[in-house]
């Protein structure tokens, strides 16, 4: 009986070893497959003369182009990568995720949204009013709308962050707190846009004129906010 029990134990032990070996082979095969994928992408990227600190993102290879329209007119490569992207363009379809991150313009993964046409008032003798839409009838903003004022000063200050956010709260605060929202946008613009770009920005310059004391006929806020949206 002991001998039979010993044989059964040895048989069970050998079965475990075999199954363990099979399991080991399974994981080994999976790891080797993954290693081959990584090596293949890595070799492909190195062959394209990558000479920077660009991380090797071993993403899944995807075929076909993934084109999207940019919201801020910025169909461009990552900063500082234009020259390298020109050398890597043959890799565009081999690793879409990587190339979308650094070389989306070179690879054609984005469509540059055209800049809006300048408002008609900009082409007149006296230019635009402070709202960026209305036409001034003379120097010093003659005949322009009255500058907008906040209706609830304390609430406007408390909830001013909603001015630049999406949703119903934004629309409410823009209607009730136009001056606060324009002030906030002005600060945002000064931090975001180069000074030379702001000098040519109709809405920004009109804001300066409006809140230096120009007066006229009061009008709605919609046209001004539409202009602010195109520059955000």
- Give the model's pLDDT for residue 17: 45
**HSE-CB of 28 using CA atoms within 13 angstroms:** 6
- Same-domain check for residues 102 and 154: no
Count the domains in the chain.
2
**Domain assignment of residue 83, given as a range:** 73-116
Least confident of 76-80, 115-119, 171-175, 189-193: 115-119
Instruction: Please report whether residue 167 resides in a domain.
Output: yes
CA atoms of 186 and 209, how far apart (whole Å): 13
- Same-domain check for residues 96 and 154: no
Tens of pLDDT along 65-88? Answer: 334 444 445 688 888 888 888 888
Tens of pLDDT along 143-166? Answer: 877 666 788 878 888 888 887 777
Largest CA distance in the chain: 116
- Same-domain check for residues 152 and 225: yes
Does residue 133 have a pLDDT over 80?
no
Least confident of 39-43, 114-118, 149-153: 39-43
Token readout for 140 is 């010093």
Confidence bin at 131 (pLDDT 50/70/90): low
Instruction: Please report whether residue 109 resides in a domain.
Output: yes
- Structure-model confidence comparison of residues 88 and 22, the more confident one: 88
- Same-domain check for residues 108 and 158: no
Confidence bin at 20 (pLDDT 50/70/90): very low
Instruction: Please report whether residue 28 resides in a domain.
Output: no
> In terms of C-beta density within 10 A (0-12 exposed, 13-18 middle, 19 or more buried), how is residue 148 classed?
buried
User: Is the pTM above the cut of 0.75?
Assistant: no
CA atoms of 153 and 232, how far apart (whole Å): 24
Instruction: Please report whether residue 200 resides in a domain.
Output: yes
- Same-domain check for residues 151 and 220: yes
pLDDT (average), residues 209-223 = 43
Instruction: Please report whether residue 214 resides in a domain.
Output: yes
Instruction: Please report whether residue 46 resides in a domain.
Output: no
- Give the model's pLDDT for residue 183: 77
- Same-domain check for residues 109 and 153: no
- Give the model's pLDDT for residue 125: 85
Three-state DSSP at 217 gives: strand
Least confident of 17-21, 101-105, 198-202: 17-21
- Same-domain check for residues 110 and 149: no
């Amino acid at each position: 009986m002991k001998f039979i029990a010993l044989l059964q134990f040895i048989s069970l032990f050998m079965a475990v070893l075999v199954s363990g070996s099979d399991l080991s082979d399974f994981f080994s095969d999976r790891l080797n497959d993954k290693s081959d994928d990584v090596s293949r992408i890595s070799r492909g990227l190195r062959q394209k003369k990558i000479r920077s600190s660009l991380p090797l993102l071993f993403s899944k290879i995807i075929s076909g182009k993934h084109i999207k329209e940019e919201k801020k007119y910025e169909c461009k490569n990552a900063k500082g990568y234009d020259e390298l992207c020109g050398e890597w363009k043959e890799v565009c379809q081999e690793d879409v995720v990587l190339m979308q991150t650094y070389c989306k313009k070179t690879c054609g993964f984005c469509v540059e949204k055209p800049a809006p046409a300048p408002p008609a008032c900009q082409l007149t003798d006296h230019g635009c009013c402070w709202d960026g839409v209305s036409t001034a009838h003379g120097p010093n903003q003659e005949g322009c709308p009255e500058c907008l004022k906040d209706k609830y000063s304390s609430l406007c200050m408390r909830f001013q962050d909603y001015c630049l956010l999406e949703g119903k709260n934004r629309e409410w605060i823009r209607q009730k707190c136009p001056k606060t929202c324009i002030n906030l946008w002005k600060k945002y613009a000064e931090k975001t846009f180069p000074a030379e770009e702001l000098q040519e920005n109709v809405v920004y310059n009109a804001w300066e004129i409006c809140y230096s004391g120009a007066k006229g006929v009061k009008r709605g806020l919609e046209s001004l906010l539409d202009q602010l949206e195109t520059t955000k």
